[in-house]
Structure 1
Amino acid sequence: MSAEHQPEEHSAQGAHGSVAVAADGKDPFADPGLPPHEPRKQDIDERAAQRSERTVAFLFVLSMLSTIGFIASFVAFPIDELHYVWPLGNVSILHLMLGVTMGIALFCIGAGAVLWARTLMSDVELVDQRHPIAAEEDVRAKVMADFKQGAEESGFGRRKLLRTTLFGALAMVPLTGVMLLRDLGPLPKDKLRHTMWKKGERLVNINTDEPLKPEDIIVGSLSFAKPESLKNDAHDFNNQIAKAALMIVRIQPKEIKDARSAEWGHDGILVYSKICTHVGCPVSLYEQQTHHALCPCHQSTFDLADGARVIFGPAGHPLPQLRIDVDDEGYLTALGDFTEPVGPSFFERG
């Protein structure tokens, strides 16, 4: 472009530099303002708006169905059941279904809200001048009026189908969290109050897997046992041994202080739960001179000669004792289950 065809500009020098000004005195970089508003299809076609409304409602309903699927999966699938799923390999079906159903439930709520905002709520651009934080009374009144106007334009009050399905989806999603409370632990009434021990169940050495006779337990020793029916390859071995593990000691009968403990034992052989009544650690340290058993986690100390009474530490209850006898073949057997729950004393034992 030749010089005579270039627009004439003047340079005004100020304290902070030069500012370009066109020949007609207008700022060439002035704010162009908002572009003209272009209505959406849903703004001019009610049928399109109804289709969008049905789509949003479908997403909210799908979220509710996914929440129901989450709860059903939680009940239907065992936690330790593994299946091969390509390309994930061997996975827990329960975990997979929980993740998929919860993901769909949350995604559908978000997608429905976004679609609602983009297709049905007002999209007219508004410009408002920035104002001080401490607003005047008329400004607060204007904000409330704008809020009411926005609520009206969103269709929240007018579109009952959207409002109802949204409330339904939001109300059901928290049920997934309520269901997950099951994994905090078994209910004491149904789980911790019962172990695999029953009348006639033999005591088996946990290391050799051989049934125990009284002559296998020597004075001053500490042995560990499990139920004979609990096999090492059982799918729920860890869950069962965590409740049924035993600690066996043999004390001179004259040194046993608690009469009931002596009666529940056999010729000085006393059998207690191995699970500490504080937080469930395995009690495994034994001092034969004092007959004290020590939990290595928090130093709770139990006097095995006095009914496993707590003499030190944070444990709240004595170790439960298992009543034993000898069967016709001379093996140590249980006379029943523990009479009180094993493990941490976080609830009343009745």
Structure 2
Amino acid sequence: MSTDQINKQEPVQDPGLEPYVERYTDSDPAVGRRAYRQILTLFGLVPLLAVAFVVLYFAVPHDDAVKFGPLHASALHIALGATAGFAILFIGLGSIHWAKQIMGDHEIAEERHPANSSDEDRQELAKVWKQGAEESGLGRRKLIGFAAAGAIGALALPAVVSLADLGPKPGKGMRRATIERTIWTEGTRLVNDVTYTPIKASEMEIGQLVNAEPENLKDLQSEDFQRQKAKAAIIIVRMDPDSIKIPDSRKDWQVGGILSYSKICTHVGCPISLWEQQTHHLLCPCHQSTFDLGDAGVVVFGPAARSLPQLPITVDKDGYLVARSDFTVPVGPSYFERDSRHDFKKGDN
């Protein structure tokens, strides 16, 4: 079948290839050299921007701002975004300029082939790959390859610095000084978590549950306030002293059947306050972990692996509930590094 016969059977005739027009970089060596220098310049700027990113990361104060009329933005974010953004942009521009002006410039056409590749096709691919490598110009202009590799590799520097500075390394000492302690201290009053009203022991009724926080929380601001509020949240319950079990080691942790526990589930950290007065059980709404507040907060159901931490409390001279100390065990969800030997378990008296 002739080409004319094939074209008559197709809805659109094959237009063929347009006449080839030689590039300026191929016809004029001076233009080619200029394009070569431009590519090297674009790739060469990337390591400088990567170093600038790291310098600005540590040099620009986190609270500095840049104003745009009524708007303002973090100076650090703008600096980091500009350096990282231009570095990536220059890699892209350099790669495009390289492909359009230096690499081989010829057009090819081939018939469609089946999805699976034959041995001949794979051999042909290897041949084309080798030909493409030769046409990339790296054989004559090797610095482009080194410049491109250096530019891409330099981008790892800002990434490594940023990831390394995400926060303090969570070693045992750091955990003990941060996430494993709260702002509860001896003599700190227990206050309502909404109104910050101090809570009198004499005003609590049997069966009542109160959501509370430490009184010194209101002196904190911003991120520190949110962080400490999340860790120090508690519940206060009053039960009939004759209906609960109080371990000998915790006799002075309660006031007439009033006990205080962490509000944070020891499974994955959900806030809990679903209180069942008759059974003295506290249920976590996330995964149904259930704690017996009438038996030192032990787990009676669900995935939680640790008892609910109990806050030692007493009353001050005015009759208000105050903490005797911080929690004696870390609050919050369990994790594999945590030493839970001091958590209360059922039967420990």
TM-score by length of 2: 0.74
Equivalent pair of 2:53/2:80 in contact (CA under 8 Å)? no
Residues 1:36 and 2:24 are matched in the alignment? no
Q: Which residue of 2 aligns with 1:53?
A: 39
Could you tell me how far apart the structure 2 residues matched to 1:206 and 1:282 are? 13
Q: Cα offset for 1:222?
A: 0.9
Q: Which residue of 2 aligns with 1:145?
A: 127
Q: Which residue of 2 aligns with 1:220?
A: 207
Q: How many residues align?
A: 322
* CA deviation string 1:54-96 (max 9, x = no partner): 22323533563465378x27x9665xx6957426835556665
The verdict on how the C-alpha distance between 1:342 and 1:164 changes in structure 2, with shifts beyond 3 A counting, is farther
Could you tell me how far apart the structure 1 residues matched to 2:321 and 2:261 are? 14
Equivalent pair of 1:52/1:119 in contact (CA under 8 Å)? no
Could you tell me how far apart the structure 2 residues matched to 1:186 and 1:244 are? 23
Q: Cα offset for 1:244?
A: 0.8
One-letter amino acid of the counterpart of residue 47, structure 2: V
Q: Cα offset for 1:274?
A: 0.8
More displaced stretch, 96-105 vs 173-182: 173-182
Q: Which residue of 1 aligns with 2:344?
A: none
* CA deviation string 1:99-127 (max 9, x = no partner): 54543343333222212212222223234
Equivalent pair of 1:56/1:112 in contact (CA under 8 Å)? yes
Equivalent pair of 1:59/1:111 in contact (CA under 8 Å)? no
Q: Which residue of 1 aligns with 2:226?
A: 238
Q: How does 1:107-146 map to 2 (within 5 A)?
A: 107-135=89-117, 137-146=119-128
One-letter amino acid of the counterpart of residue 61, structure 1: P
* Correspondence for 1:195 among 176, 179, 182: 182
Q: Structure 2 unaligned segments of length 5 or more: list them.
A: 340-349
More displaced stretch, 277-286 vs 102-111: 102-111
Could you tell me how far apart the structure 1 residues matched to 2:165 and 2:296 are? 34
Q: Which residue of 2 aligns with 1:21?
A: none
The verdict on how the C-alpha distance between 1:109 and 1:294 changes in structure 2, with shifts beyond 3 A counting, is same
The verdict on how the C-alpha distance between 1:150 and 1:226 changes in structure 2, with shifts beyond 3 A counting, is same
One-letter amino acid of the counterpart of residue 48, structure 1: R
TM-score by length of 1: 0.74
Equivalent pair of 1:83/1:93 in contact (CA under 8 Å)? yes
Q: Which residue of 2 aligns with 1:207?
A: 194
Equivalent pair of 2:202/2:319 in contact (CA under 8 Å)? no
Q: Structure 1 unaligned segments of length 5 or more: list them.
A: 1-13, 19-28
Equivalent pair of 1:66/1:102 in contact (CA under 8 Å)? no
Q: Cα offset for 1:343?
A: 2.1
SS at 2:287's partner residue? coil
Q: Which residue of 2 aligns with 1:290?
A: 279
Q: Which residue of 1 aligns with 2:265?
A: 276
Could you tell me how far apart the structure 2 residues matched to 1:101 and 1:39 are? 33
| CA RMSD after TM alignment | 3.9
One-letter amino acid of the counterpart of residue 269, structure 2: G
Residues 1:317 and 2:299 are matched in the alignment? no
Could you tell me how far apart the structure 1 residues matched to 2:297 and 2:14 are? 87
Task: Give % identity.
Answer: 43
Q: Cα offset for 1:147?
A: 0.8
Q: Which residue of 1 aligns with 2:237?
A: 249
The verdict on how the C-alpha distance between 1:99 and 1:261 changes in structure 2, with shifts beyond 3 A counting, is farther
The verdict on how the C-alpha distance between 1:41 and 1:250 changes in structure 2, with shifts beyond 3 A counting, is same
Whose Rg is larger? 1
One-letter amino acid of the counterpart of residue 153, structure 1: E
More displaced stretch, 331-340 vs 178-187: 178-187
Could you tell me how far apart the structure 1 residues matched to 2:323 and 2:72 are? 39
Q: Which residue of 1 aligns with 2:294?
A: 305
One-letter amino acid of the counterpart of residue 213, structure 1: K
The verdict on how the C-alpha distance between 1:233 and 1:84 changes in structure 2, with shifts beyond 3 A counting, is farther
Q: Which residue of 1 aligns with 2:345?
A: none
Equivalent pair of 1:340/1:349 in contact (CA under 8 Å)? no
SS at 1:223's partner residue? strand
The verdict on how the C-alpha distance between 1:136 and 1:206 changes in structure 2, with shifts beyond 3 A counting, is closer
